[in-house]
Amino acid sequence: MFLSVFDVFKLGIGPSSSHTMGPMTAAADFLDLLRAHHASQAAEAIRVTLYGSLAFTGRGHATERAVALGLLGYRPATIEMDEAEHQLAELRVGKRLAPPGLPALAFDPLTAVVFDFGPPLPGHSNGLIITAFDAQGAQILSETYYSIGGGFILTAAQRDVGLPPSSEASDPRLWPYPFESAAAMLRMARESGLSIADMKRANEAVGRSDAEIEAGLARIWRTMDGCIERGLSHEGELPGGLRVKRRAKRIRDQLLSEQGSNRAQPHSVTEWLSVYAMAVNEENAAGGQVVTAPTNGAAGVVPAVIRYYLDRCIGADPARVSDFLLTAAAIGGLIKHNASISGAEAGCQGEVGSASAMAAGGLCAVLGGTPAQVENAAEIALEHHLGMTCDPVAGLVQVPCIERNGIGATKAVAAASLALRGDGSHFMPLDNCIAAMRQTGEEMSTKYKETSLAGLAVNLPEC
């Protein structure tokens, strides 16, 4: 198993990797598929039907907007928002697409995206079917896609044959350190004498030069840090109708005003950690550019802990951010391979829980932890998120998602600290904890897995 660090950490836009980035990519892919179809020139209209969690919370996650952007040819990593918004406004008025290499296609974003509130599709709780029709209404081409978390998509055929979502090859013989479990990862670390980051870097080097790897990692961190700064500078209400106000800037300003005074509490360091995470997720909720880490809903945890490391930890070295990211990606890859990072599949334990485990492992590594201590840190963080439901109010990635990232970041630091105080030996292996998360997700009621049908989503203030 090999999931690239550049698959775990992908540039995209908010508010959701599974409900925004995945459907956008699926729509763009469908256009490519249609171009290759022998009857493509007869196409006259497109319809998109959303199922499962995509239907129940799609409006709050702006899924219909994401689909329209994908059909306009945009992809999450390269979208230019000003240009995209202009084209989206034109589409809402003209109700026609003009994709290169295809005839003009009828598509009204308000009516051609259908929310099916019946049973989900059999392959995954985040499913969508995109269909092209001719002028007589006959079907020309149809494809089923599953948005499986973190911006990854699979067609129904790919899922049926068990293909990996990554663009990387999955043949373990290609990779020098093809660990599929934490136990194998630790064994390979002992035998090679390498850190987890070094093994991950060696795997990445199969398809990329060292310069490309470092440049890619630097870009990831620049984007993460830029997202923190934007979140710390913006004010106002978040979109969606809940009238939730941004808080990160106000809290940051309060913390700055208290520095050096007798009003600063000892736990202000934790407050900085939380506000970094909240800044990212406020940007995500506003539809801004974020990095999946491993999802958009959990995008604030890893950046917050890296920023905490750089700003607050004694001996912090900016050159080690790449080791942090590589270590975190190794942990995230194990969780995705053996369980899930999708809130619609596993609940929020799969999103914020996974992110906290990744951040804990990364921080432990750059603070000098051994591979065994890194594995211990990741296990501690994940263990204390088990059972967490995904119950976003009104289907928006705002309540409780923004605060959950702050708490997930603080748990990550606590987990790394506990692990560093030990020698790496502990009772519950990370592999077993991941298995427990998978089992818990499988048995969790669908109501608590990103449908907004239970939990906090239906227990709202009455005034």
Element (H, E) at 157: helix 156-160
- Locate all alpha helices (DSSP H) within 62-107, ordered by sequence: 63-71, 81-94
On whether residue 43 sits in a domain, the answer given is yes
Q: Is 240 left (phi over 0), alpha (psi -120 to 50) or beta?
A: left
Are the C-beta atoms of residues 228 and 397 closer than 8 Å to each other? no
Question: Are 148 and 279 part of one and the same domain?
Answer: no
Question: Could you give the CA distance from residue 315 to residue 366 in angstroms, rounded to a whole number?
Answer: 10
Question: Are 43 and 192 part of one and the same domain?
Answer: no
Degrees (nearest 5) of the Cα angle 397, 401, 402? Answer: 100
Q: 94, 128, 160 — which closes off a domain?
A: 160
On whether residue 411 sits in a domain, the answer given is yes
On whether residue 109 sits in a domain, the answer given is yes
Question: Could you give the CA distance from residue 164 to residue 3 in angstroms, rounded to a whole number?
Answer: 9
Q: 335 Cβ partners below 8 Å, 6+ apart? A: 294, 341, 350, 354, 357, 358, 382, 434, 437
Question: Are 265 and 120 part of one and the same domain?
Answer: no
Degrees (nearest 5) of the Cα angle 66, 290, 352? Answer: 100
On whether residue 1 sits in a domain, the answer given is no
Question: Are 239 and 141 part of one and the same domain?
Answer: no
Render pLDDT for 143-194 as a digit per residue (tens, 0 to 9). Answer: 999 999 999 999 999 988 876 665 444 566 689 999 999 999 999 999 999 9
On whether residue 11 sits in a domain, the answer given is no
Range of the domain at 45: 17-160
Question: Are 213 and 351 part of one and the same domain?
Answer: yes
Question: Are 151 and 183 part of one and the same domain?
Answer: no
Helix (H/G/I), strand (E/B), else coil: 379: helix
Per-residue model confidence (pLDDT) at position 170:
54
Degrees (nearest 5) of the Cα angle 266, 400, 223? Answer: 75
Question: Are 338 and 199 part of one and the same domain?
Answer: yes
Residue 262, judged by CB atoms within 10 A of its CB (0-12, 13-18, 19+), counts as: exposed
Report CA Rg, the chain: 22
Question: Are 135 and 241 part of one and the same domain?
Answer: no
Q: Determine phi and psi for 149, rounding to 5 degrees.
A: 105, 145
Question: Could you give the CA distance from residue 420 to residue 414 in angstroms, rounded to a whole number?
Answer: 10
Q: 160, 190, 217 — which closes off a domain?
A: 160
On whether residue 9 sits in a domain, the answer given is no
State the sign of the Cα–Cα–Cα–Cα dihedral 324, 221, 335, 427: positive
Q: Determine phi and psi for 133, rounding to 5 degrees.
A: -125, 155
Render pLDDT for 206-227 as a digit per residue (tens, 0 to 9). Answer: 989 999 999 999 999 999 999 9
Q: 99 Cβ partners below 8 Å, 6+ apart? A: 31, 35, 71, 72, 73, 105
Question: Are 405 and 296 part of one and the same domain?
Answer: yes
Render pLDDT for 80-114 as a digit per residue (tens, 0 to 9). Answer: 988 999 999 999 999 999 999 999 999 999 999 99
The CB-based long-range contact list for 228-235 (8 Å cut-off, 24+ gap) reads 228/276, 228/279, 228/280, 228/303, 228/304, 228/307, 229/279, 230/279, 230/283, 230/288, 231/278, 231/279, 231/280, 231/281, 231/282, 231/283, 232/275, 232/276, 232/279, 234/282, 234/283, 234/286
Question: Could you give the CA distance from residue 197 to residue 462 in angstroms, rounded to a whole number?
Answer: 50
Residues in the chain, pLDDT under 50: 167-169
- CATH number of the CATH domain containing 92: 3.30.1330.90
Amino acid present at 8: V
Q: Of 346, 338, 348, which is closest to residue 432 (Cα–Cα)?
A: 338
Question: Are 115 and 234 part of one and the same domain?
Answer: no
Question: Are 40 and 150 part of one and the same domain?
Answer: yes
- Say how far residue 245 (Cα) sits from the centre of its chain: 23
Domain count, the chain: 2
On whether residue 79 sits in a domain, the answer given is yes
What pTM was estimated for this model as a whole? 0.93
Question: Are 156 and 207 part of one and the same domain?
Answer: no
Q: 133, 160, 187 — which closes off a domain?
A: 160
Helix (H/G/I), strand (E/B), else coil: 42: helix
Q: Determine phi and psi for 226, rounding to 5 degrees.
A: -65, -35
Per-residue model confidence (pLDDT) at position 164:
65
On whether residue 166 sits in a domain, the answer given is no
Q: Of 386, 324, 310, 385, which is closest to residue 358 (Cα–Cα)?
A: 324
110 token code pair? 């308000």
- Count CA atoms within 13 Å of residue 245 on its CB side: 6
160 token code pair? 């049926």
**DSSP symbol at 426:** -
